[in-house]
Amino acid sequence: MDKKNASKRSRSTACLKTEISLAKQLEKVARMSFSPISKKHHSKTSLSPKNSSLHRSKKNFEITLHKSQIFESKDTSPGASRPPKRTRLKVPSKELLSKKTKTISELPIWKLLESTAKGSGSPIGSTKRMKPSPPRTIVPKQSLLFMPQPGQSKSHQRKYIKTVSHLSSHSITGSVNGKPKPQNQDSYIMLPNFRKHKDQTLLAVMDGHGVFGHEVSAAVKGALPVFLSKNLSKERSPSGSPTPEDTVNKLKRALIASYRDTIRSLCNKKAIDVSYSGTTAVSVFIHEDICVCANVGDSRALIGRYEDFWTFVEISHDHKPGIPEERQRIEASGGRVAPFKDIYGQYMGPDRVWLKNEDYPGLAMSRSIGDLVAASVGVSAEPEILSYRLTQADKFIVLASDGVWEFISSQTCVDIVSQYYERNDPNKAAQVLADEAFEIWKKDEGVIDDITVIVAFLTSCNLTAKSS
């Protein structure tokens, strides 16, 4: 019996060693096979020929803007699906997994590969939730404006409104091979009490790209609030008391007009070369409990909610060339959508926008402010507008540049910020979110993108007490 038991124990020990060895070999092969693509192939712009006929030309800029129909009024359905994530299959290191979460570190390597291959999001950065048991219910990306809560009438819902109580931001300049970049190309806007109205707040994040991207994002930062203030003043209030629908339509018209005015002012700035440089621009305007988001590009805005557990609502869509509607517009304008092709003829990285018979500009987004050459083949600067009605469940708003969303999912973002919402510390929330993104970039890439975060905490306001 002892010999049999000893034989069984030796066989089980041998099997265990074999499984551990197999897991290590799989991890080694996975790291070699699925190593992340260098950021030089993921940068938002690629080649910039100097002898372009569109180089620094105001007249041609206006022509190309007309061709791309950026001023065409288009109401994009807010129910549109989010484009697929960039293909980056990664196997986190044991140290990082054990540092972030015990649950993930206990998974075998083939489970980690399976989860990332299915696009379920990187397991890196998982954090503790308020109530971990119930399944996640992601609120669909649709306008929740004027939608009463179950068992509540609209009149009851209007007893309380949401307003911004605390604001904070954090921005980190990117680096190349450990050396900081010459300048941070991100810009942001935080204007509480906008136009001297206590219940109005303007937030925006601009992510510049290209040689002069920092100048373009700074120009948008200076122009957008000025034009929005003017256009809101031009909007006439309807006779009688305005309905919430009237307010939303007024804000939408003012935001669209302000983006167009900003583009025209950028066209007149001869000192800024926008041939191959541009910026994203995601802005959120809050009026009492009405939230309207205007977005151009792949920066993102979301709302963190708490109903038994933390979840989120994305109030902007990332504009990528691979989206069917965006691809159709670009190809109809004479452009070409395809990933970057290396010297061996292999495609790698996300879809990009190219001239039909040329390998430039290689823009990795389908909408942008600036980018003269890309605008000539269908890249649009027309903002997509989504509206949202803030409810008691909505706790905070986050706006961030692509430097955050490259590796951190919307849910992970909410998990991080929610910890500091409970402590009423927006400064720490913005800093930790930006630092978390920076650390993942540093482990994964030789080039680190600029990172900018805005966090706005929301509070309930008694509408009856306010009106009295």
What's the pLDDT tens digit per position in 433-468? Answer: 999 999 999 987 788 999 999 999 999 877 654 544
98 phi and psi, to 5 degrees?
-65, -30
Comparing 39 with 12, the larger pLDDT belongs to 12
State the CATH number of the domain containing residue 144: 3.60.40.10
pLDDT of residue 20: 57
Asked if the peptide bond before residue 361 counts as cis, ω within 30 degrees of 0, the response is yes
Could you tell me the sign of the dihedral formed by the alpha carbons of 437, 442, 443, 444, in that order? positive
Is residue 425 assigned to a domain? yes
Comparing 328 with 11, the larger pLDDT belongs to 328
Is residue 66 assigned to a domain? yes
Judge whether residue 109 has pLDDT over 50. Answer: no
Is residue 156 assigned to a domain? yes
| % pLDDT > 70, the chain | 63
pLDDT of residue 454: 98
CA distances to 100, 312, 385 from 126, rounded to whole Å, are 6, 15, 31
Ordered DSSP codes for 366-414: SB-EE-HHHHTTT-B-PPEEEEEE--TTEEEEEEE-HHHHTT--HHHHH
CA distances to 38, 76, 229 from 203, rounded to whole Å, are 32, 22, 13
Judge whether residue 88 has pLDDT over 80. Answer: no
Tell me how far apart the alpha carbons of residues 398 and 282 are, in angstroms, rounded to a whole number.
11
Check if the beta carbon of residue 370 is closer than 8 Å to that of residue 278.
Answer: yes
Check if the beta carbon of residue 184 is closer than 8 Å to that of residue 208.
Answer: no
Is residue 99 assigned to a domain? no
Domain span holding position 209: 58-86+118-467
Contact partners, residue 328, CB within 8 Å, separation at least 6:
none
Tell me how far apart the alpha carbons of residues 274 and 269 are, in angstroms, rounded to a whole number.
9
Check if the beta carbon of residue 139 is closer than 8 Å to that of residue 391.
Answer: no
| % pLDDT > 90, the chain | 55
Is residue 52 assigned to a domain? no
How many domains in the chain? 1
Judge whether residue 116 has pLDDT over 80. Answer: no
**Could you tell me the pLDDT band of residue 431, with boundaries at 50, 70 and 90?**
very high
What's the pLDDT tens digit per position in 142-189? Answer: 333 334 444 444 444 456 678 899 999 999 999 998 899 999 999 999
pLDDT of residue 10: 58
Minimal CA–CA distance to 351: which of 42, 38, 37, 34?
A: 42
Is residue 202 assigned to a domain? yes
Is residue 14 assigned to a domain? no
- Report field, pTM of the whole predicted structure over 0.85: no
84 phi and psi, to 5 degrees?
-65, 150
What's the pLDDT tens digit per position in 246-270? Answer: 999 999 999 999 999 999 999 888 8
Contact partners, residue 111, CB within 8 Å, separation at least 6:
none
Tell me how far apart the alpha carbons of residues 50 and 373 are, in angstroms, rounded to a whole number.
12
**Could you tell me the pLDDT band of residue 14, with boundaries at 50, 70 and 90?**
low
Is residue 171 assigned to a domain? yes
Which amino acid, 379? V
What's the pLDDT tens digit per position in 390-403? Answer: 999 999 999 999 99
Tell me how far apart the alpha carbons of residues 70 and 262 are, in angstroms, rounded to a whole number.
12
